[in-house]
Homo-oligomer: A and B are copies of this chain.
C-alpha cells in the first residue's frame, strides 16, 4: 500500500514467554497506537528469544533499516535478562554500571536487600542515557536510535510516556472507519476501486461477527485530513448504493474488531 512512509519504527519484543505461548503480549498494540498518533509508522515487529545472537542480529538489522527501534523485555535481575548486555554487544561497546542508575537502585532498596542480581539492572551500554522508571526504579535506556524498555506493561507504558517527547514523528497518521453490516465480499470490489483512486491513503477491511450479525469495518488511514474526509464521503455513498446498513466507526487509532481473514 501507499501512504506517507517517512518516519518508521521497528518493535522488538524480547521474551521466551511470549514465544512459548505462556504470555499474551500486551506491548505491541500500545506502542504501535501511540507511535501512529505522533506520526511514526511501525513498519515491523518481531518477537524474539532471550538469546544473545538473536537479539544482536535483529537489533542491528532493525536499527539500520528504521528511524527508531523499541525493545521490550529482558532488563530485569535474573539470568535470562540479557537484553542490556546484548544491546551493548550489538553496538560494539562495553556494558558499564551507570552511576545514576546505581544511585536510583541504592535509594530504592533497603541496604540488606541489595544484591548483585539487582545491581545488574544498573548496567547499560557505554554511552547510553537512562529512561526513567517511575514504577519500580530500575531504568531503561536509550542508545542511539534504540529505546530499551521494560517488558511489564505498566512499566513499559510509564517509560514510553516519559520519552515520547524525544521522538520526531511525521504528520500524525489519521484513521477513520465505517462499519457496514454486510459480508466483506459484498463490498470488496468497489472498496478496491476506491483504494485505486486514492493511492496516497491506506484502506483496509476487517470483518467481524457481533451479536450474530456479520459486518465489516472499512478503515481509511492517511496523513491528509482533507483527502481522508473526501474518501470517507465516497465510501459512505458506495455503501449506501449497495443498500447495506452502516454506521460510523471509531475515529483515529482504536481497536475493536478482529483481524484479516
Neighbouring B residues of A1 by C-beta, 8 Å:
16, 49-51, 80
Cβ of A39 < 8 Å from any Cβ of B?
no
Residue in B20, B26, B136, B203 whose beta carbon sits within 8 Å of that of A221 in the complex: B20
> Residues 14-30 of chain A: 1 if any B CB is under 8 Å from the residue's CB, otherwise 0?
11111111111111111
Q: Is the CB of B80 within 8 A of A203?
A: yes
Q: Is A93 an interface residue (CB 8 A)?
A: no
Task: Report if A185 contacts B (CB, 8 A).
Answer: yes
* A34, CB-defined interface residue at 8 Å: yes
Q: Closest Cβ of chain B: how far from A201's Cβ, in Å?
A: 12
Q: Are A36 and B51 in contact (CB under 8 A)?
A: no
Q: Are B74 and A260 in contact (CB under 8 A)?
A: yes
Copies of this protein, total? 2
CB pair A192–B78 under 8 Å, yes or no, is yes
Pick from A96-104, A110-118, A162-170, A225-233 the stretch touching chain B. Answer: A110-118
Q: Does A188 contact B (CB under 8 A)?
A: yes
Q: Is A150 an interface residue (CB 8 A)?
A: yes
Q: Are B21 and A258 in contact (CB under 8 A)?
A: no
- Roughly how many angstroms separate A48 CA and B42 CA in the complex, as a whole number? 9
Contact of A22 with B152 in the complex, beta carbons under 8 Å: no
> A140 — nearest CB in chain B belongs to which residue?
B261
Subset of 29 A-B contacts with CB under 8 Å:
A1-B50, A1-B80, A14-B260, A15-B259, A15-B260, A16-B202, A16-B221, A17-B260, A20-B175, A21-B32, A21-B35, A22-B33, A22-B219, A22-B254, A46-B47, A50-B204, A72-B259, A74-B260, A75-B261, A76-B205, A77-B188, A78-B184, A78-B205, A79-B192, A109-B185, A117-B185, A117-B188, A118-B185, A152-B207
Query: Residues of A with Cβ closer than 8 Å to B?
Result: 1, 14-36, 41-51, 54, 72-81, 109, 113, 115-118, 121, 136, 138, 150-155, 173, 175, 184-189, 191-192, 195-196, 202-207, 209, 219, 221, 253-255, 257-261
- Which 8 pairs of residues, A with B, have the shortest CB-CB distance? A21-B33, A117-B188, A21-B32, A79-B192, A151-B259, A151-B260, A76-B261, A118-B185
